Amino acid sequence: MLCMTVLWLISIRIKDASIVDAFWGPGFAIVAWIYFAFTNDVSMRKLAVCTLTTLWALRLGIHIFIRNHGKGEDPRYQVWRAEAGKSYWWYSFFKVFLLQGIILIIVSAPLLGAQISPMTFPTPLDGIGILLFMIGLFFETVGDWQLKTFKTHHENKGKVMQTGLWKYTRHPNYFGDALVWWGFFCMAAAAGAWWTIYAPVVMTFFLMKVSGVALLEKAMSVRPGYKEYIARTSAFFPWFPGPRNQ
């Protein structure tokens, strides 16, 4: 919460609330290591969870920072700024920074659950969790890299990315993010924290229905060729593409 408050003060100074996006990943790394410090002993599972969280968080944070740097405030926040008017300076603290901070803490439950038990590591469930994490990180990293490379070519301006991983799912990065959190849950469940299952459920729901797929699809639907892309390509879960319309 201290980090969110500092970010909010910076956002007032630079008039850009979207800086909170780059903190989303690193925020989880911070709470993971706080959980590490305030739970008992030092175990291999604790080290594994914190290391994997940090790896995922740094990649995501650096990616978003580079992607957004120098481009001004994200249009989503510009809309809220226009709606709130002069009150946005304090309004943004509650709607943007405080809200994301609360969601971050709630969703981070598996990172805590995996560290509160001294149970044996690794177990088969840990193995499944790490495998899901690695597959998810692959989809996120490669998907983002492919899209970034696609956008660097001037001839692709205004076109729809539909090669590589994007041939099998319209949102490989969001799918990968969901897998990462199911991986963390498996590691928490291996430590006995089955109650944390709500966290990946909430994260997957947000990615599919709220802040991820649904929001981006609405913005992309007006782009030429996107409706055809929707007709032949899975929205979230990777699957073989349908035939192209001639």
For 89-122, write each residue's pLDDT tens digit. 888 999 899 999 999 999 999 999 999 887 788 9
From the CB of residue 229, how many other CB atoms can be counted at a distance below 10 Å?
18
- Say if 89 falls within a structural domain: no
Structure tokens that stand for 79 in this block: 């809309």
Q: What is the pLDDT of the chain when averaged over all its residues?
A: 91
CA nearest to 135, candidates 188, 79, 182? 182
* Alpha-helix runs per DSSP H in the chain: 2-14, 19-38, 44-68, 75-84, 88-92, 99-107, 109-113, 124-152, 172-190, 198-205, 213-220, 226-232
Out of 103-117, 126-140, 166-180, 200-214, pick the least confident. 200-214
C-alpha distance from residue 62 to each of 25, 70, 179, 221 (Å): 9, 14, 20, 28
Residue 150: inside a domain, yes or no? yes
Q: Is the model's pLDDT at 236 over the cut of 60?
A: yes
How confident is the model over 24-70, as pLDDT tens digits? 999 999 999 999 999 888 889 999 999 999 999 999 999 999 988 88
> Nearest-CA neighbor of 43 among 205, 190, 195?
190
Does residue 210 carry a pLDDT above 80?
yes
Instruction: Name the pTM for this structure.
Output: 0.91
Residue 165 has pLDDT above 80, yes or no: yes
Report the alpha-carbon distance of residue 150 to residue 148 in Å, rounded. Answer: 5
- Give alpha helix (H) positions in 69-171: 75-84, 88-92, 99-107, 109-113, 124-152
Q: How many domains does the chain contain in total?
A: 1
Within 13 A of 92's CA, how many CA atoms are on the CB side?
A: 30
Higher-scoring residue by pLDDT: 221, 79: 79
Average pLDDT (186-194) is 95
User: Which position has the higher pLDDT, 223 or 55?
Assistant: 55
Please say if the pLDDT value at position 246 is more than 50: no
Q: Is the pLDDT of residue 138 over 80?
A: yes
Comparing 56 with 223, the larger pLDDT belongs to 56
Give domain status of residue 147, yes or no.
yes
Longest Cα pair distance anywhere in the chain, in angstroms? 63
Q: Which domain holds residue 187?
A: 19-71+108-232
Residue 147 near residue 161 (C-beta atoms within 8 A): yes
Percent above pLDDT 90 for the chain: 65
Do the domain assignments include residue 144?
A: yes
**Residue 1: inside a domain:** no
Does 4 map to a domain?
Answer: no
Position 245 pLDDT exceeds 60 = no
pLDDT bin (cut points 50, 70, 90) of residue 86 is confident
Domain assignment of residue 83, yes or no: no
pLDDT surpassing 80 at residue 125? yes
Please report whether residue 3 resides in a domain: no
What share of the chain in percent tops pLDDT 70?
Answer: 99
